[in-house]
Structure 1
Amino acid sequence: INMRVKLRLLRFGRGIRHSQRRSLDYVHISKPQARLLSEKWDSRKIAEFSVENPLKVLFCGRNFPFALEYTKAALKSRGVENVVCTSCDADMVAAEIKTSHVVVPLMMRLAEEHVLAGKDLRCILQYGVGLEGVDIEAATRNKVHVSNIPSYMSGNAEATAEHALHLLLCGLRRPALAQKVFEDGRLGEPLTRQILGKRVMILGFGSVGQEIFKRIVGFSPSEIIALKNSQLLPDELEELRGYLGGSSTLTVKTGEQDIEDLLCDVDIVIISSTLTESTRGVVNRSFCTALKPGAVVVNIARGQIVENEAMCEALNSGQVGFFASDVGCTLNGARNPHFSVSEPFPPSDPLALHPNTLFTPHNGGIADVSYHNMGEIVADTAIRISNNEPPAISVNGPF
């Protein structure tokens, strides 16, 4: 069968406008670029915030609880008293947003009705990168800024890359199986696999993909093939090649690619791409069939990029040796009406029950350094807005 698999990848952090450099000194993170918006708020947005009349930051839903905790801690450490942070169940967001000034959606879907209900709403701020659940057009029409935290600013890219390596090593070294052998009192098994000498493909070579590359080269794969939709600058590519050692090589493919010939010799695939219409369902039957038999596939991007039924078939046949994922999407694509993606992924799903899979609860970026830094950035944004200033980063401003 002549299979042609085409993949178009968009980089992480797309839509962020960069025109000036600004130094943000969060722990050890390199200095980012961010557009500093100078416009003032519409007169109807102007308000004085005080202890008696505080700015309200609403965290949507009860998942990702440490986002609220770290933001509260950041505000407390600065002695800020005119900003309060609260959270509510997903089904209460429509009511609570009416009195909120900043909303942190997390995994919540924020539609036009939410934007219209937020009469005092000034900013929708994601605690991370993903904005696919936010109706940005509705927010723009109502002069509500939409902001996020690019992964290079917070340590989230590094945390997610570490988690990708954790999932990969679990797929290669099989710790759960080794634990069972230990409990059975046996020695010298199971036989595991190394990264050494393997051919690795990274689908999505933005901030997260590049951090994965920097870490995996230490395991001496023979070749790393990275797919990215836009060209790297010469100095960026030169910097990345500086991480190579021994006989490892890096090949960066940009734009739309026919990747069938690349997949046939790939031992490891790590998915770190943005979810777009061109990446949705790209890991399908054709993709799996084109892989080298027994390949390990890791997904730390979005569940909808992988077709679950196709992955189950590939695992059953041995075409895919192991699948590890920090994200999920139900087989029928059903959506919780409150959430922007089909998560939490049900543990009863056939893919989750397969013996050669491992799922983690979307906690790849949930780490001490990254969450501390993101809490500081959310606190910064809340303080700016309480002073009637726009957020430092806006994907839909200025107005």
Structure 2
Amino acid sequence: MPPKKKRGLPPGALHHVERKHFKVLFCGEEFPAGAEETRKALEKHDAVGNCEFRFVACAREQVATEIVDADVAVPLMTKIDETLLAKAPILKLVLQFGVGLEGVDEEACTKRGILLARIPSEKTGNADSTAEMAVFLLLAGLRRVNQLAKSLTDRRLGEPITVQLKGKTVTIVGWGHIGKEVARRLRAFGCKLQAVRKSEWPKEEWDFLLYDEGVRPLDELKWIKNSDAVVLCCNQTKENMGMINDDFIGHMKPGAVLVNIARGGLFNREHVLRALDDGRLGYLASDVAWQEPVDPTDPLVAHERAYFTPHVGGVTDMSYQTMGAIVAKACASLQADPWMGETCVVGISPELRYMVNEIMIVNANLPAFPGVTGPCVDFEQCRKRCRC
């Protein structure tokens, strides 16, 4: 006779008693190195009880079948919506291998008591790797890599003439960890830097020793008029979808370089293509696209003044090894303790957002379990109180 569930336990809390496998599902075949690093890291953890870790990486078309008995889902580029979650009765955690959660229905996760989390970029090497990619793309745009390749093919020496980075004004859109790392690197090139974000930061948080112009609100597009290049580092939200449009480009310096290491949904594709065709936009260098994987024959991708890479900004040895270890550690913690171990978020208020155990819980308004009220910040006390 199976053990009786105790009152107040979250779904699947008795998995270490009732089940022989704790399943970690990578939803899709994109970013294969992430799955491999996680699998290797998970092998270093021992599951509690008679349970074993089961690691599965499947094609996107198979996710609906594989998620049925999954404990943890890593979405990658797969859309996680209400329909898919309805097929996952024991799912406890949706953890992105990185930062972007725009494809996950947070409300649906919260409604079902499923934790939704991401891995912040600043301590994993992801921010550093993505910032390095931004510099690479900026140099690719200024140095016109397409034309350089053509000159090599045509056996022409000493052409074309390109643009030097030193002394150029660069505006960074998005002032998070990645934006700051981009600024630190561009400072070494002798660039004049300024940054804009959705809302202004307190002045005490500005680092005037490092950044020339400070941080401006994003609606003050006048600050990009003097920029030789604009680098997009911001999150994609419902509000900024398609923000790189005629209006945005119209505020840019004619012939400027645009770099996108954020998300492809920021593009209004038709407007960007038109701006490249008529010369208002000098060059586009992007690691992301409006649809991924993008069609390489798309007129914008194939444009002579555009250069695209396959969403590899954060795909480096250091960042992937670190993030794989973090995902494995979170899974091991969850399997060992039905109350999430150190990732317990019982009773957190809707306004509270904080990082625990190297991952950041974003749906902090999960309903409190019986007998627990108020923010839970003392993890040891939390575990003691939550035991039934």
State the distance in 1 between where 2:312 and 2:153 align.
Answer: 28
Q: Work out whether residues 134 and 261 of structure 2, in 8 Å CA contact, stay in contact via their aligned partners in 1.
A: yes
Query: What is the TM-score normalised by the length of structure 2?
Result: 0.82
Q: 1:258 aligns with which of 208, 220, 232?
A: 220
Name the residue aligned to 1:224: 193
Q: 2:246 aligns with which of 276, 285, 307?
A: 285
State the distance in 2 between where 1:231 and 1:292 align.
Answer: 23
Q: 1:47 to 1:224 in 2, by over 3 A?
A: same
State the distance in 2 between where 1:60 and 1:176 align.
Answer: 35
Quote how far apart the aligned CAs of 1:394 are: 1.8
SS of the counterpart of 1:349?
coil
Let me know the Cα RMSD of the aligned residues: 2.2
SS of the counterpart of 1:46?
coil
Q: Which amino acid aligns with 1:380?
A: K
Give per-residue Cα distances to partners, 1:196-254, cap 9 Å, x unaligned.
Answer: 12111111111111111111111112x3120123444555423xx4446xxxx233113
Q: Work out whether residues 41 and 389 of structure 1, in 8 Å CA contact, stay in contact via their aligned partners in 2.
A: no
State the distance in 2 between where 1:56 and 1:357 align.
Answer: 42
Quote how far apart the aligned CAs of 1:41 are: 7.6
Q: 1:102 to 1:217 in 2, by over 3 A?
A: same
Q: Work out whether residues 49 and 82 of structure 1, in 8 Å CA contact, stay in contact via their aligned partners in 2.
A: no
Bigger mean CA offset, 144-153 vs 281-290? 281-290
Give per-residue Cα distances to partners, 1:244-298, cap 9 Å, x unaligned.
Answer: 6xxxx233113x5231x32322110101111123321111112222221210000
2:226 corresponds to 1:276:
no
Bigger mean CA offset, 307-316 vs 180-189? 180-189
Q: 1:356 aligns with which of 293, 302, 305?
A: 305
Name the residue aligned to 1:311: 272
Q: 2:127 aligns with which of 157, 176, 180?
A: 157
Which runs of structure 2 are paired with 1:55-74 in the superposition (5 Å)? 55-74=22-41
Q: Which amino acid aligns with 2:58?
A: C
Q: 1:323 to 1:66 in 2, by over 3 A?
A: same
Query: What is the TM-score normalised by the length of structure 1?
Result: 0.80
State the distance in 1 between where 2:260 and 2:108 align.
Answer: 31
SS of the counterpart of 1:103?
strand
State the distance in 2 between where 1:113 and 1:183 align.
Answer: 51
Which runs of structure 2 are paired with 1:325-340 in the superposition (5 Å)? 325-329=286-290
State the distance in 1 between where 2:64 and 2:328 align.
Answer: 23
Q: Work out whether residues 70 and 372 of structure 1, in 8 Å CA contact, stay in contact via their aligned partners in 2.
A: yes
Q: Work out whether residues 34 and 320 of structure 2, in 8 Å CA contact, stay in contact via their aligned partners in 1.
A: yes
Count of residues in correspondence between the two structures: 339
Q: Which amino acid aligns with 2:24?
A: V
Gaps of 5+ in 1: 1-39, 330-341
Q: 1:368 aligns with which of 305, 308, 317?
A: 317
Name the residue aligned to 2:263: 302
Q: Work out whether residues 45 and 332 of structure 2, in 8 Å CA contact, stay in contact via their aligned partners in 1.
A: no
Name the residue aligned to 1:13: none
SS of the counterpart of 1:67?
helix
Name the residue aligned to 2:331: 382
What percentage of residue pairs aligned between the two structures are identical? 37
Q: 1:190 aligns with which of 130, 143, 160?
A: 160
2:86 corresponds to 1:130:
no
SS of the counterpart of 2:206?
helix
Q: Which amino acid aligns with 1:328?
A: A
Structure number with larger C-alpha Rg? 2
Q: Work out whether residues 139 and 145 of structure 1, in 8 Å CA contact, stay in contact via their aligned partners in 2.
A: yes
Q: 1:188 to 1:165 in 2, by over 3 A?
A: same
Q: Which amino acid aligns with 1:251?
A: G
Q: Work out whether residues 146 and 305 of structure 2, in 8 Å CA contact, stay in contact via their aligned partners in 1.
A: no
Structure scoring higher RCO (CA < 8 A, sep ≥ 6) equals 1
Quote how far apart the aligned CAs of 1:132 are: 1.3
Quote how far apart the aligned CAs of 1:158 are: 1.0
Q: 2:56 aligns with which of 86, 99, 124?
A: 86
Give per-residue Cα distances to partners, 1:91-148, cap 9 Å, x unaligned.
Answer: 2111111110000000100111221211111111111111111111111111111111
Q: 1:355 to 1:119 in 2, by over 3 A?
A: same
Name the residue aligned to 2:283: 322
Name the residue aligned to 1:16: none
Which runs of structure 2 are paired with 1:108-127 in the superposition (5 Å)? 108-127=78-97
Q: Work out whether residues 178 and 233 of structure 2, in 8 Å CA contact, stay in contact via their aligned partners in 1.
A: yes
